[in-house]
Structure 1
């Protein structure tokens, strides 16, 4: 088990030596700490024990991309101590409640950023996390999402003995292709994991802050679909989003496939009730 030590902190480039640190709980993947140096400056440190440099490089790159359009924590440094990876961020005084209308507008502004080659994907895959992301560029979103997101998860669930759903899945894929044939999708920069735990608000001015991205370029409705799985987003959020990017006809049907994806991710990561949840979503899709 990882224990943060003063020897470890000596390798982290704070402005002056760290005199105090407290673990911050709430995440299920990283260890996180609030640091204070001898000059009273504060920092936020994330540690991924026994990982690889690509793990936090992906997050740092994602924050840089999102920062083109929205408020994100500043990346101060990243590195490794032995096989333990770390990411040093600015410390933010935050609260969980704030202006959700502005939050929705912030996501819409992120989605206005398109890929430099007008394709779907990203320059590199992300294989350092618990769920593999194959990001090879594709010109067609439907094929990208089926082949590089849903099918990857299906294979994982099969290998884990959690999958008995090919008949319903094949029907769902057929429905998705028919729905997407009626819609022209432009590549949008996606947060990629936009649930209610991945935003916060500045405690001083209420500004929305986006954290913990898993970026790539895809269908903007993907992020919206993720917001609907576990809640935490108000009507104001969706109103704010649509003040810049109105939803297109048929959105509710399409969102179900992005909900399915997220439930399959959780079935892979956590098992339990998420297995019956993704199966229930499949049944809902094919019965529509």
Structure 2
């Protein structure tokens, strides 16, 4: 495993690289994370089963999008590869030393990224991933169609295939479309924007684990409010820079249903109850 990693990093650096120390970090699901170094360069290596290769490739493309079209600090991809048993991705290791959190700057950077409007359609040229579940990104001209079908309908169908039917999917998709028929333009979204994927390094705001696509910017804001809301300073600064449209609170309930459904598909348990409760609230 590590011989392959050494070889691929060496090819990228155009000089020999040999791991002299590795430390296993906190992992996510079945994906194992390692900090590796040769005494000079430091990298983060994510390791998973062979079939995770497509997910790692999607992550690398999402990182490229953020690096190109935002001012956030994002760890670049060094290399991606496979062994007989595993797939892996090697990333820059950004320092996470104790530093002052600048949520005002984070808000301004997000608003700036959301305000570029360089895409005319909703979606992405390729599917992306959140955790280990695929996010279909077929292009749509109408936002309400994209989110209702490619996000909510998709997750509900995955649950149904597991024997869990929270609601009549066709009818609910129509309801979602009616709630999202507001005037919005495609913004580049981080796609998995919550506190756990935001950190600060050397005075800059850093984003991790992107699941990018072009959509309504309110999706990023709504997701940030779901599990671990960001400081009030962030929301105040964002609204001053790029105010949310009227009716956001209604749409927020819809946008937050998506990560609830995704977690229900991944982990079941109480997430199923939360998803069912949110579906019922939307139907009222």
TM-score (norm 1): 0.88
Equivalent in the alignment of 2:115: 112
Please list every run of 5 or more consecutive structure 2 residues that lacks an aligned counterpart in the other structure: none
What are the Cα deviations for residues 7-58 of structure 1, in whole angstroms up to 9, with x where unaligned?
34333415521100001104235211111104x2211111222225322121
Instruction: Go from structure 1 to structure 2 and tell me whether the alpha carbon gap of 1:128 and 1:210 turns closer, same or farther (over 3 Å shift).
Output: closer
With 151-160 and 97-106 compared, the bigger mean Cα shift is at 97-106
Alignment of 1:158-237 (within 5 A): 158-166=160-168, 170=171, 173-181=173-181, 183-202=182-201, 204-205=202-203, 207-237=204-234
2:29, 2:195 → 1: CA distance?
14
The Cα shift of 1:175 comes to: 4.5
2:255 is the alignment partner of 1:249: no
Equivalent in the alignment of 1:283: 280
The Cα shift of 1:95 comes to: 5.1
Secondary structure at 2:178 match in 1: helix
Instruction: Go from structure 1 to structure 2 and tell me whether the alpha carbon gap of 1:52 and 1:284 turns closer, same or farther (over 3 Å shift).
Output: closer
Equivalent in the alignment of 1:18: 19
Equivalent in the alignment of 1:57: 57
Equivalent in the alignment of 1:94: 96
Equivalent in the alignment of 1:46: 46
Secondary structure at 1:18 match in 2: coil
Secondary structure at 2:82 match in 1: strand
Instruction: Go from structure 1 to structure 2 and tell me whether the alpha carbon gap of 1:26 and 1:82 turns closer, same or farther (over 3 Å shift).
Output: closer
2:9, 2:148 → 1: CA distance?
42
Instruction: Go from structure 1 to structure 2 and tell me whether the alpha carbon gap of 1:136 and 1:177 turns closer, same or farther (over 3 Å shift).
Output: closer
Please list every run of 5 or more consecutive structure 1 residues that lacks an aligned counterpart in the other structure: none
1:180, 1:192 → 2: CA distance?
18
TM-score (norm 2): 0.89
Q: Which has the higher contact order (CA 8 A, sep 6+)?
A: 1
1:263, 1:52 → 2: CA distance?
23
Secondary structure at 2:206 match in 1: strand
Instruction: Go from structure 1 to structure 2 and tell me whether the alpha carbon gap of 1:199 and 1:49 turns closer, same or farther (over 3 Å shift).
Output: same
1:193, 1:128 → 2: CA distance?
7
- RMSD after superposition: 2.2
What are the Cα deviations for residues 101-124 of structure 1, in whole angstroms up to 9, with x where unaligned?
2112222222123354x0011111
2:76, 2:37 → 1: CA distance?
17
2:266, 2:140 → 1: CA distance?
27
Equivalent in the alignment of 2:3: 7
